[in-house]
Amino acid sequence: MTLELIKDIGEQGLLERLQPFCPPGVVGDDGAVIPPPESGQSLVITTDVLVNGVHFSDRYGGVSQCTTSPEDAGWRAAAANLSDLAAMGASPLGITVGLSLTGDVAVSWVERLYQGMTQCLNQYNTPIVGGDICRSPVITIAITAFGQVYPDQAIRRTGAKVGHAIVVTGVHGASRAGLELLLNPDFGKHLSPEERLSLIKAHQRPQPRLDVVSLLTLQVNRLKVESWNFQPDNFQPDNFQSDNFQPSTLQPSNLQPSNLQPSTLQPSTLQPSTLQLSIAGMDSSDGLADAIVQICGASGVGAEIDPNRITLPPSFSKLVSPEQALDWALYGGEDFELVLCLPTEAAEELVAQLGEGAAVIGKITSGNEVWLKDKTGTYADQLLSLNKGFQHF
């Protein structure tokens, strides 16, 4: 059977094939018209580029080993962008896709690529709202994602404070191990089929942690409600204008400016720290060590990490040495977990809600260095650096 190639159907023919992957009536013009963010929320925009032979390995890249199906490449491309939105505390609105392709690529390959994208996106009701295609000697997938977040709930890298706990939302090193299994079929033969599949799936089908955003939003909203449960020294029911007011009716829904005497509520009564949860963070797509160092650098702080608290895949104990396992966890990358710095009580609550894999792995310190320190002596102390992880240049 002869494969139908892109050069056989042309640009317009390919666009017609891809249009069913988008919502009806959204594509077909020079730009997509989409609703604005909900009232009070800001727009969050992020872009990720995946290149064949760099971020994934497909037979069209001329590489000796194919580790990524077109469906997996599409999934990973979508997941990378959704992970960036999750790292900002944002919920997704939609994406655009820019494709650079050779004319010899099969039309079915592109359709399968979009199938993988939509499989990932459909988990979060996120549509493809447009894009572009062009001829190129190398396959490139460039996605721009749009999300929304309330400005005071946006997670930035600059908010880490001394004393904050450092949380990881899941295991690290699994994606790197999965890649090793794909590149070296003889590696890890003693693993069970389920263990092999789990590691390979971590590499080919990473899950963006948008579920964490929902949990953090609930924490923030609860704190805002609890911030009203104060009683200033001069608090008396008589201070309020309503004759039928009872203390038990003090709820956020009926707190209106007209109900409060100015003398009973001074600005000093409500401190900003009680009205919002201070969080810093980013995703670990470039490696756990990279994320921690980047956050500390942006926040002007240091950190101390306990290597024994970094969660690893259970199968690592029979796959690699402890030193190799730690190296993959720190520098392997592409695990798409979140690394968050927040007050200890909130951190412990979040870890309990997330369950297995999530952990408090260290704390923010003064200074500007990030140290891995093991009090048990299993691992040598080391200074974490950006230089050891993957860098494009």
Q: Which residues contact 90 (CB under 8 A, 6 or more apart)?
A: 44, 147, 148, 149, 154, 213
CA distance 250 to 391: 54
Which token pair is 197? Answer: 């599949």
Give, in order, the Cα–Cα distances in Å from 114 to each of 33, 286, 297.
21, 24, 37
Residue 372 has φ and ψ, to the nearest 5°, of -100, 115
User: For tokens 């890298």, what's the residue?
Assistant: 157
Q: Which residues contact 365 (CB under 8 A, 6 or more apart)?
A: 162, 301, 302, 303, 304
Q: Does the annotation flag 46 for ligand binding?
A: yes
HSE-CB at 290 with a 13 A cutoff on CA atoms is 22
Q: Does the annotation flag 187 for ligand binding?
A: no
Q: Does the annotation flag 186 for ligand binding?
A: no
Q: Does the annotation flag 58 for ligand binding?
A: no
CA distance 88 to 46: 10
Q: Does the annotation flag 131 for ligand binding?
A: yes
Q: Does the annotation flag 55 for ligand binding?
A: yes
Q: Does the annotation flag 150 for ligand binding?
A: no
Q: Does the annotation flag 327 for ligand binding?
A: no
Q: How many CB atoms lie within 10 A of CB 269?
A: 14
Q: Does the annotation flag 283 for ligand binding?
A: yes
Which token pair is 38? Answer: 């909900």
Q: Does the annotation flag 390 for ligand binding?
A: yes
Q: Does the annotation flag 334 for ligand binding?
A: yes
Q: How many CB atoms lie within 10 A of CB 94?
A: 21
Q: Does the annotation flag 47 for ligand binding?
A: yes
The dihedral formed by the CA atoms of 336, 340, 346 and 352, expressed in degrees to the nearest 10: 30
Q: Does the annotation flag 381 for ligand binding?
A: no
CA distance 393 to 385: 16
Annotated binding-site residue numbers for Mg(2+): 30, 46-48, 84, 132, 283, 286
Annotated binding-site residue numbers: 30, 46-48, 55, 84, 114, 131-132, 157, 283, 285-286, 334, 390
Annotated binding-site residue numbers for ATP: 114, 131-132, 157, 285
Annotated binding-site residue numbers for substrate: 55, 334, 390
